[in-house]
Amino acid sequence: MIDIHCHILPGIDDGAKDMNDSLEMARQAQSQGITRIVASPHHKNGSFDNNFQDILTEVNLLNKELTREGIDIEILPGQEVRIYGEMEEDLDVDLLTVNNKGVYMLIEFPSSHLPRYANKLLFDLQLKGIVPIIVHPERNREIMEDPSKLYRLIKEGSLSQVTASSVTGRMGKKIKKFSLDLISHNLAHFIASDSHNTTTRPFDLREAYETVEKELGMSIRYQVQENPEEMVQGRMIDKDIPERIKKKKVLGLF
């Protein structure tokens, strides 16, 4: 398995605090059957700035340490970029695509809303050859209240990734249901751990795929589990036409 979103690099964001933490996370990932991890430290989120050169250096150092410790996991470079207005101008300066292939980029929205410029910016990035992957949309308040806003972004060419612990129910029943709805309506194309540690935010990836198989069937599990391989190679993924999530009318007396 490939985990495309993980905060495993030591001491550069709110994930692994040091190399020992990174190694413990890698061991837990290995026990889940994960063989490759895209390290995706936060960038431009108001607390952390991690430019692509620093990330490449840290990935190289961690891979050497994993080899030394006999942990059979490969770390690939990535970056979780909080959306901001100047992203297009910074593509060649600060920003890093998944596995440095120049195709996919992990993009985070604020948890409470979608910036007004989001649609135009994500479309403009695609004109530059970048495929935006919206991370954890199931935890965005505005998308939860109005899923059609995510539908529009996916319809225009963006992709999205839900978090494994959302799919398993660790984050609550409502978020689990919404995550599965996004997958079944072709509005989410990847599952990733977004792991920050081995305790409160562990990997959960194998359990998430098992949940998808149980709730949605083997064919959908196969699709979302195979898409990461295409992504890290910079190839186009297998995806179906997005469908709107119909909001159920609430009946009651007022």
- For residue 239, what are its two tokens? 């995806």
**2-232 classified as CATH 3.20.20.140:** yes
Q: For residue 251, what pLDDT is reported?
A: 40
Q: Please check whether residue 194 is in contact with residue 204, taking contact to mean a CB–CB distance below 8 angstroms.
A: no
Q: Quote the pLDDT of residue 93.
A: 86
Going by the DSSP 8-state scheme, the letter that residue 138 receives in this structure is G
Domains of the chain by residue range: 2-232
> What is the reported pLDDT for 238?
86
pLDDT tens, residue by residue, 188-223: 999 999 999 999 889 999 999 999 999 999 999 999
pLDDT score, position 248: 62
Q: How many Å apart are CA 54 and CA 64, to the nearest integer?
A: 16
- Residue 217: predicted pLDDT: 98
Average pLDDT, the chain: 95
Question: What secondary structure, in 3-state letters, does 31-71 show?
Answer: HCCCCEEEECCEECCCCCCCCHHHHHHHHHHHHHHHHHHCC
Res 247 pLDDT > 80: no
Q: Give pLDDT tens digits for 61-108.
A: 999 999 999 999 999 999 999 999 999 999 988 999 999 999 999 999
Query: Per DSSP, what are the bridge partners of residue 77?
Result: 39
Amino acid at 134: I
What the block records as the tokens of 123 is 């479309």
Beta carbons of 10 and 22 less than 8 angstroms apart: yes
Q: Region 153-177: what's the mean pLDDT?
A: 98
Model confidence pLDDT, tens digit, residues 31-57: 999 999 999 999 999 999 999 999 999
* Distance, CA of 108 to CA of 134 (rounded, Å): 6
For range 219-243, the mean pLDDT: 96
Those residues with Cβ within 8 angstroms of residue 13's Cβ, 6 or more apart along the chain or in another chain: 7, 41, 42, 47, 48, 50
Q: How confident is the model at residue 253 (pLDDT cuts 50, 70, 90)?
A: very low
Q: Per-residue b/e over 77-97, b at no fewer than 16 CB within 10 Å?
A: bbbbbbbeeebeeebeebbbb
